[in-house]
Copies of this chain bind each other. A is one copy, B any other.
């Protein structure tokens, strides 16, 4: 019985035309209060709910925003989603989740997203390769926001974090604790963030006039097992590092695991700092000192930005105009500062609550 009653039924029952029903549905001003009341009553009586699909098809607003993610099973997504959900739950929009992994053709997936007006806009979280196509769409005036720690799209509104300075802070902290042989476990070269974090590492060492030792720089894949492997390599050195800065928390986890398996004490024998501050990092043993990416806030600000873009669309003319002068004025960019969260693994003791 759900969608059985249509606007036509209401119109008939109320003795008016479909157009008038549509008007009260959309709260148009130009309708007699008396008529409005009568129609509204019928609507309530019948429990009539407008067919969303037909509404959109006819050119109405959909109140859907699409959230495009690489993979829902990636842990960091959840923190972002928390922030997004917080805002969405207090708006009258709903979320459509798309993942781009299982479709061979990314553009097709994204096109389907925008099929007519089903979604009013897209929040793309760590979109990877798709970012180029998204930029094109953003350029055409589609409301799109990219949350990414891998790179900074030039033509699409962007929310991200400052990897380089966060990285620098982490290594500076180790330097301040007296370490001189500091290793770095890099992320994959294909990600811009790997490079940025590596740069931050170099920056800090340069400040301290310490030259890079290639043997102290290993490449992982951001996942825990690669941290384990790199730990093996680093701790097997004739002159092993006294501190390690891992490019991701997961790789740091792998490092911890190796240390535990081989009786290496953290931070006593070797200090350790990670990057991301995912949820579990407060609960590892020892608790992980790490660079916090404010994923929750990024989610919040990302979706807020998107909603504002939807509500206040930039006219094609204005966009055209802006492109010729100052592109940054029309392409919002929000870069969050990262924050070093000092726990136990770096050797700077502090009280840490159990939870």
Known: A52-B112, A52-B118. A89 touches B99 (CB 8 A): yes
CA distance A99 to B279 in the complex (A): 24
In the complex, identify which listed stretch (A28-36, A79-87, A166-174, A200-208) lies at the interface while the others stay far away: A79-87
CA distance A284 to B81 in the complex (A): 24
Report if A54 contacts B (CB, 8 A).
yes
CA distance A57 to B54 in the complex (A): 6
Q: 0/1 per residue, A86-119, Cβ < 8 Å to B?
A: 1011111011111101100001100110111110
Contact between A355 and B73 (Cβ–Cβ < 8 Å)?
no
In the complex, identify which listed stretch (A210-218, A231-239, A253-261) lies at the interface while the others stay far away: A253-261
Task: Give how many A residues have a beta carbon under 8 Å from the other chain's beta carbons.
Answer: 61
Contact between A111 and B2 (Cβ–Cβ < 8 Å)?
yes
Closest 8 CB pairs of A and B: A283-B283, A72-B85, A52-B115, A49-B111, A95-B97, A285-B354, A53-B116, A57-B57
Please list the residues of chain A having a beta carbon within 8 angstroms of any beta carbon in chain B.
1-3, 47, 49-54, 56-57, 64, 71-73, 78, 81-82, 84-86, 88-92, 94-99, 101-102, 107-108, 111-112, 114-118, 137, 140, 142, 224, 253, 256-257, 260, 279-280, 282-285, 353-355
